[in-house]
Amino acid sequence: MLRRRCPTGGERIDLCRQWEKKMRAGRKRKRKRKRENIAFLFFWSFSRFTAYTGKWRGKKGNVFITPLCCRNSSSPNLEDPPMKKSKDPFEIAFEERDESPPESPTGPDENEAQTPGALTQDVSGDDDISNNLRPTDPSTSAASSIPVGTAGPTGKSKEEDEEEEEENMDVELGKLPSSGDPDKTAIMQTILSQFTEGQMSRYESFRRSGFQKSNMKRLLTSITGSAKISMPMTIVVSGIAKMFVGELVETARIVMAERKESGPIRPCHMREAYRRLKLEGKIPKRSVPRLFR
């Protein structure tokens, strides 16, 4: 059934059918492109979700945007060729997305099934989402190579993927994640552009790592005994636990510096760090002491 006028006027039926087939295929492709566009923008917004600019470290005083380790290590080498200043490593990663993805430490979520229907999956928190964006799906590979979206690559991506249609979706998604002030984003960009390889990989680990939602949910269910654990609760507890691990590791590093030791963190440092956190009161105390551990 032709919805549009056949250019041959309908007299040559076989031509009409061929033309109809082509139109259908073209419309299909157009639909697919539209869907991919939306999917890409959707996943881009997921990646922007991870691109918080460090507000969470507290609004007053210092804003610890990068973890202690990156600040303590050697300051950016000024003799480095200036090419790094203009290009964000994440921009480079985006532009080179045809190559195989860089070996990034996020391994565990590769076996999670990623289908094009992944758009309807649950919101799984920031880092988990970026962990999930690892698949080899062509529809999402574009988005997956953008580990963290900053203002630069997102602008480029919009231009490169934008087609004639201006969707309302574009504007909404573009405006959504820019919750941080532009100053902070600009500062972040300058810092990120001057990172060394090691710092960048560590920062990437820092941003992308997180507890698996399923494991955390299972743990919470086993603790509470109730079957219903809402997704926001899992997200909150995962976030709290991640920050707790951060405090532990940073305190352990401080302990090591005091003892003038180097290398990987040993359990003795970790126990000392735990003891110090307990003294500070950051560990919830049990009203009833735990027996028979």
Partner 1 sequence: MNNPTSRWRAGASQPSESSFKRKRGVFQKDLQHMMYGFGDDPNPLPETVALVEDIVVEYVTDLVHKAQDTASKRGKLLTEDFLFLIRKDVPKLNRCTELLSMNEELKQARKAFEVDEEKLASID
Q: How many CB atoms lie within 10 A of CB 50?
A: 22
Tokens of 210: 């997180």
153 lies in the binding site for partner 1 (CB under 8 A): no
Given 13, 25, 176, 186, the residue binding partner 1 (CB under 8 A): 176
**CB-based burial label for 82 (10 Å; 0-12, 13-18, 19+):** exposed
Identify which of 284, 285, 273, 240 has the alpha carbon closest to the alpha carbon of residue 68. Answer: 273
Name the residue type at position 177: P
x/- mask, partner 1, residues 53-92, rule CB under 8 A, reads: --xxxxx-------xxx-----------------------
Does position 223 interact with partner 1 (CB under 8 A)? The reply is yes
Is 102 among the residues that bind partner 1 (CB under 8 A)?
A: no
Residue 235 CB, shortest distance to partner 1, in Å, is 5
Q: Which of 90, 97, 92, 87 is nearest to 40 (CA)?
A: 97
The helix (H) or strand (E) run that includes residue 200 is helix 197-208
Binding mask 107-126 for partner 1 (x = CB under 8 A): xx----------xx--x-xx
- Which is nearer to partner 1, 184 or 253 (by Cβ)? 253
Report, in Å, the least distance between residue 156 CB and partner 1: 21
Out of 163, 172, 181, 261, point to the residue binding partner 1 (CB under 8 A): 172
Which residue among 149, 152, 153, 177 contacts partner 1 (CB under 8 A)?
177
In the numeric block, the tokens 């002491």 are attached to: 289
Residue 161 phi, psi (nearest 5): -100, -10
Tell me how many residues contact partner 1 (CB under 8 A). Answer: 91
Residue from 117, 267, 279, 291 in contact with partner 1 (CB under 8 A)? 267
Query: How many Å apart are CA 84 and CA 180, to the nearest integer?
Result: 24
Residue for token pair 């918080």: 52
Residue from 23, 38, 92, 151 touching partner 1 (CB under 8 A): that is: 38
Nearer to partner 1, 141 or 221 (CB): 221
